[in-house]
Amino acid sequence: MSLLDLCLQGLAVFGFILFGVLWLMHFMSIIYVRLHLHRKRSEVKGQMAGVSLLKPLKGVDPNLISNLETFFTLDYPKYEVLLCVQDQDDPAVDVCKKLLGKYPNVDARLFIGGKKVGINPKINNLMPGYEGAKYGLVWICDSGIRVKPDSLTDMTNQMTEKVGLVHGLPYVADRQGFAATLEQVYFGTSHPRSYISANVTGIKCVTGMSCLMRKDVLDQAGGLVAFAQYIAEDYFMAKAIADRGWKFSMATQVAMQNSGSYSIGQFQSRMIRWTKLRINMLPGTVLEPVSECFLASLIIGWAAHYVFRWDMMVFFMCHCLAWFISDYIQLTGVQGGALCFSKLDFAVAWFIRESMAVQIFLSALWDPTISWRTGRYRLRCGGTAEEILDV
């Protein structure tokens, strides 16, 4: 047997293993979504833990005030809202002051100026609020997130004795326009498939959009200062908590992104930035493209042709169709109700998103620098970064 034959056989075996792994991920995520998300929770009995909500703010968009206001109307007996703005001249300051005046009975404070402790601008912005937090649980939640009155109750329900971190599955609110549909399709199909599968199998996969954490555990790891050297601070905070023996839990409500500023270009830039971070933190990310529909279908279709002599293109089309249908089933489960767009809109957005996947990955490999908030950074292996200063 020649070396070429051995390579072809190895590729065929890889194709069948890939088939099994990817469809296991499909089924795990679909079942988990149906069983866990959007479930009605009974009210917590007894004393509820106090929560310090940390809100990093930078600039305004059309939905900022309505998003922020949902945190002032939470149905929770003991929490504080700590609004953090880096720049005195930021228009977000006026939005915060307006809400502070509208809800004088809510325990809320505004921190302006931040504190420079590292290269991560989000951590720098949050430092004064973190240092002033008075409760044992801290909830770091991005400015574009919108919540329901019982969202905090849902998260604290998950914070059981052995749990150190509760996170929400990222999703996107119903909004107008094709860019909104594209985001909703991605966060309802490809992203939760990987995100849920990782967490179900014990891999700690967390995004920092909405995270409830034990403050004493963070303090044991050095506090927020310890994570200021990283751009992906959420990954390293989660790792520090896991390394100390604490478990993670996922809220039954999604982390609902509702930014008022969105476009296809912004979506693409964010996906490239996230991919760059994963490549520098996790070397296994180089295999990510084979987990996407079109490339995976080609590899699996070739393996089926090599072993069984099935028509490769017929298999490719059938496999893509099955993937498409399972993604639609998962999306409706994550949505928890009727979609705001048609099946045709879904088909177009799904096809475009899948077509963008390899291009996004290659773009991330091409340039190791990222732009985030007001800075540019050069990533290093292991997840650290250095700021690129203009001279």
Would you state the pLDDT for residue 375?
79
Sorted by sequence, the CB contacts under 8 Å of residue 257 that are 6+ apart come out as 142, 144, 145, 146, 170, 171, 172, 173, 183, 187, 209
Q: pLDDT, tens digit, for every residue of 286-315?
A: 889 999 999 999 999 999 999 999 999 999
| Residue listed under structure tokens 């478990």 | 247
Would you state the pLDDT for residue 44?
60
Of 186-195, 301-310, 326-335, 364-373, least confident by mean pLDDT is 364-373
Whole-angstrom distance, CA of residue 108 vs CA of residue 184:
32
Would you state the pLDDT for residue 382?
80
Q: pLDDT, tens digit, for every residue of 120-176?
A: 999 999 999 999 999 999 999 999 999 999 999 999 999 999 999 999 999 999 999
Q: pLDDT, tens digit, for every residue of 261-270?
A: 899 999 999 9
Nearest Cα to 14, choosing from 285, 300, 293?
Answer: 300
Cβ–Cβ contacts within 10 Å for residue 62, how many?
9
Is the confidence at residue 45, as pLDDT, over 90? no
Q: pLDDT, tens digit, for every residue of 349-389?
A: 999 999 999 999 999 988 888 887 777 888 888 888 888 87
Residues of the chain by 3-state class (helix, strand, coil), percent to 5: 55, 15, 30
| Residues labelled as active-site residues | 234
Asked if 83 contacts 55 with a C-beta cutoff of 8 angstroms, the reply is yes
Determine the 3-state secondary structure of 148 from DSSP. Answer: coil
Q: pLDDT, tens digit, for every residue of 15-40?
A: 999 999 999 999 999 999 999 998 77
Mean pLDDT for all residues in the chain: 93
Whole-angstrom distance, CA of residue 44 vs CA of residue 157:
7
Percent of the chain whose predicted confidence (pLDDT) is above 90: 82
Asked if 241 contacts 220 with a C-beta cutoff of 8 angstroms, the reply is no
pLDDT grade, residue 41 (50/70/90)? low
Whole-angstrom distance, CA of residue 138 vs CA of residue 80:
10
Nearest Cα to 361, choosing from 255, 290, 281?
Answer: 290
Would you state the pLDDT for residue 391?
47
